[in-house]
A and B are shown apart, each in its own frame.
Chain A
Amino acid sequence: MNWLTRILRLLAGGVFLVAGVLKVLDPAHFAAAIDHFRLLPYFAVAPLALYLPWLEIVCGLAVFAGAARRSALVLLFAMTVVFIAAIASAWMRGLDIRCGCFGAASTAPLTYDLVFDVVLGGVLFWLLLVEGRPGSSRKV
């Protein structure tokens, strides 16, 4: 199943790389998107909007490169869990907002992003299990 692992790795890393780049293009837009969730104090919104896209890019690249793959997968999985919680809470509060997960390209309803992130979280978890296995293709 080595080829499947590789494809999923490319997809998962690619998703975060693309999502990060799209958000870095317009951090002000992403800051507004974060604020719309009404989960964070306002002073934390702008710093997060500047930092989070770069963390996604760095971790996405690390998944490709393999140098720090397992750490990157751990961070990406943790991020995805937080995203799922944030989107679910906005959805349950009935907020009429967009996710902002893919910058200005985020135009779908929140439920789409929720399903997407749950699938993504599953893929990352599976990759983590594979990376952690003793006979995995990469030495730690």
Chain B
Amino acid sequence: MACNEKNPSCAATGRTAVLLLAFALVPAVFTAWLHPKRPTWSWTRPTVTELALADAERLTPPVIWLDARPDEEYAAQHVPGALSLNEDRWDELLPKFMAVWQPGTRVVVYCNSQRCDASRAVAVRLRHEYQIGNVFVLQGGWSAWLEEHKP
């Protein structure tokens, strides 16, 4: 399989590979252009404001708490009153959130801990795709909340 002049099939494999790489570009361009769920592009990562738990709990109502963790974790336990909104079932869960959200409502999104990214992703989508302001990410997430509200 060594790629040298004694092995013309190797060069042919390389040429075909380049063709395959180029071929995949065509539908990708159409996806970028036409797909209803195409990603939004920007040079830098969109920022979201993080709030410490104490500050989040002091927000002026109305406040909606959003649980961005997977379904089974939300089902097991969540911040009292929190709604579930994760990217796995975004289309099903979003209407439930939209039904209670009103302009001026503050939204606090959390996931498991400081090491998870789901809350940030949900907050960014709400802010940039749905133009919802006052969306915050809870620092330390669910574990910070648990720590503070230990029985």
Q: How far is the CB of B20 from chain A (nearest CB, A)?
A: 6
CB pair B42 A42 closer than 8 Å: yes
With beta carbons under 8 angstroms apart, the residue of A32, A50, A57, A96 that contacts B32 is A50
CB pair A97 B87 closer than 8 Å: no
With beta carbons under 8 angstroms apart, the residue of B23, B42, B45 that contacts A58 is B23
CA distance A28 to B112 in the complex (A): 22
Q: How far is the CB of A86 from chain B (nearest CB, A)?
A: 14
CA distance A107 to B70 in the complex (A): 8
The answer to whether B75 has its CB under 8 Å from any CB of chain A is no
CA distance A36 to B116 in the complex (A): 8
CA distance A25 to B87 in the complex (A): 13
Question: Using an 8 Å CB-CB cutoff, how does the interface string of B77-115 with A read, 1 for contact, 0 for none?
Answer: 000000000011110000000000000000000011101
In the complex, what residues of B have CB within 8 A of residue A94's CB? 115
CB pair B19 A107 closer than 8 Å: no
CB pair A95 B115 closer than 8 Å: yes
Q: What is the total number of residues of chain A having a CB less than 8 Å from a CB of chain B?
A: 41
Question: Using an 8 Å CB-CB cutoff, how does the interface string of B29-48 with A read, 1 for contact, 0 for none?
Answer: 00110010111111111000
In the complex, what residues of A have CB within 8 A of residue B21's CB? 55, 75
Task: Tell me if A's interface is mostly helix, strand, loop or mixed.
Answer: helix
CA distance A94 to B129 in the complex (A): 29
CB pair B43 A43 closer than 8 Å: yes
Specify the chain A residue showing the minimal Cβ separation from B115: A96
In the complex, what residues of B have CB within 8 A of residue A62's CB? 20
The answer to whether A59 has its CB under 8 Å from any CB of chain B is yes
The answer to whether A46 has its CB under 8 Å from any CB of chain B is yes
CB pair B39 A54 closer than 8 Å: no
In the complex, what residues of A have CB within 8 A of residue B31's CB? 24, 27, 50, 54
Specify the chain B residue showing the minimal Cβ separation from A128: B1
CA distance A104 to B25 in the complex (A): 23
The answer to whether A71 has its CB under 8 Å from any CB of chain B is yes
Knowing A42-B44, A55-B24, A107-B88 touch, does A29 contact B113 (C-beta < 8 A)?
no
With beta carbons under 8 angstroms apart, the residue of A50, A58, A70, A96 that contacts B13 is A70
CA distance A22 to B10 in the complex (A): 32
The answer to whether B121 has its CB under 8 Å from any CB of chain A is yes
With beta carbons under 8 angstroms apart, the residue of A28, A47, A54, A96 that contacts B24 is A54
The answer to whether B61 has its CB under 8 Å from any CB of chain A is no
